[in-house]
Structure 1
């Protein structure tokens, strides 16, 4: 039997996979496939574990921020903010979505390495609480726009702390060779702080770093906190400004496979908190307000994708192709990163996973695969295939490649389901064509 690691998943008396009490085969029948399914209960449980860790280890002096690039829609913004989290956005579209969901500007943190003037204007017009400045050009642009609007923009500086988080090269962001942020080692970050403090229409309130994604070690986060507090102290000592906040980013890993070495999130919080307290005491500085930015860890394991099995091609001594009615258009992560996933036949979830399959999508690309060498139950055409841990970076990265409509997203809780994003239709695909 396939190892099921998320608390929201189970197997019922019929041998079917369930999520938050909903039979996945019934969901597939009701809504069609492919569909994304998100457990509201699991999202809320993880949000609460983060907020509780701030109470326990930081005396409430901080807050988790939901990194909405993992999965951004109005209902998700409403759910996480109702649990006390702020929202991080990285584009005008994500910012607009959060605002439309009713999130106040003061609870939004705006990231991005190349924000347009239009995006910065939208942020200023809506009193975004923290615009995270990535580079000198953006700093100058933001100061100019804010001045034209008679506003003062609260900013943090995104810093490259020079830490390699030992993840896939495309998702490492804290080392020197990165498109993100201001370099610490060369003095670029300190120079940006010095320049910002001389400007009339920005207020420097903090520092920010993000070292990567899907990190399964505590040490990189602890080291990042120590390094960033060194810069915090230098700004205090040499520029005589004590910054209000320190944002240590996200990147906490999740289960994709049984073999993933998962670390409970409170253990990150406990060790980072101890290091922050130690370093602040050493420097004689006040403990800043601390933020972290979990995204994948909040929604990743709370989500699954359901497909219907189509044709099965068994090539002797080569491989078995199991075709599904989705593919890289609604989950491009295997094609991009060779990302691992756990797959199973949802209507045979209690049976042995004794069939080795390559899960193939329907796109006209030989690289359109969801997983290779996956151990699943023996498949038949018409079965429902479930791919686990698809809550993060699946809908967010979906496209209309081959003019495929993006699937609906369903949220489930206590045996009930509801649509939170309607599936696209063919009419939607041509809506903007002329």
Structure 2
């Protein structure tokens, strides 16, 4: 069990002006030069190695992890970003009334029932168009854009998380913040879960399922991100193989979205905060999943390598009208076109009068025939047959009314073949064979 007394910090500065991080403290020899001080104010800092600490009154000893803390001062400088009084004042001033500084020195964030587009201040950004600014200098992980503007509640939550990030999420810093949701005060550690509390997030999602009593936030650093080729879903991995609790296997923490544009800005090394109620635990592949459906649920930022401070946060561009989920419409029955009736028997042609053109198979010539007096002369080309002499046409015959087609004629029986001229050969050992008698009887009858 770890010791939680005192504020902590993630970085300090040695006597030569080089940054000192927590992972350097337990190294031998130490890769920094004492004395240390805060990187953002002149307050002295101590580097404490990992050690065990006996509990007052007996009991098992607690384990204290390596950390950086102030030496001889209760707080940082007056305008240091790690000073809780300064940070709370700045967060409350930019929250548009949603973050309230209480008399006990804590900050209360009022979480609206609807943190959606109705809470976003008006901007000059067209929701149908992506922001004009882009991520700059990804190798240095600097963000130069804050458009579109974050909703006030999300923006205040990000500022709180950035302050806790600088203070290594120490317990005294966590106790300074809480959330007010529908008149109920919720401790910050029950609302937002960072890397040290991912196991508690797992237990919360498993125990509550999809019926969370209030929105829950998760903070983390992107390990990898992309779009699944098979399903087309966007994802961002915040943690991999985190140890489970109560016999549960190691699990991952991921952000998912059916809209790739919401997670497209996330790159490895970026910090992200997601707020919402769509949480799920997948058992076949142990994952704690958060499903983002709108741009105001996500905020991301980077760390300025020159100062060590968090950069300005941003959120993804809003979804276009075509990408927003629509309510399912009732399906209307499509009228089916009538099928044309086809007959299996070909149509019977109507009878034509005798001598009509329909009875002949000779097509009508397209070139007029030569005059009768020139027919059969030598001027006729050899490859064109000479036309026959003109014949007087038959008198016109009045067309008769066609008779209805009757039933098809019945096939006639085949004719009976004549009897053979000679009787069939009969074996001598079978005299009086019935075959010979029948042949003689038929022969006499036909004669």
Common fold: TM-score over 0.5:
no
When the two structures are superposed, what TM-score results if normalisation uses the length of structure 1?
0.22
Highest RCO, 1 vs 2 (Cα 8 Å, sep ≥ 6): 1
Structure with the bigger percentage of strand: 1
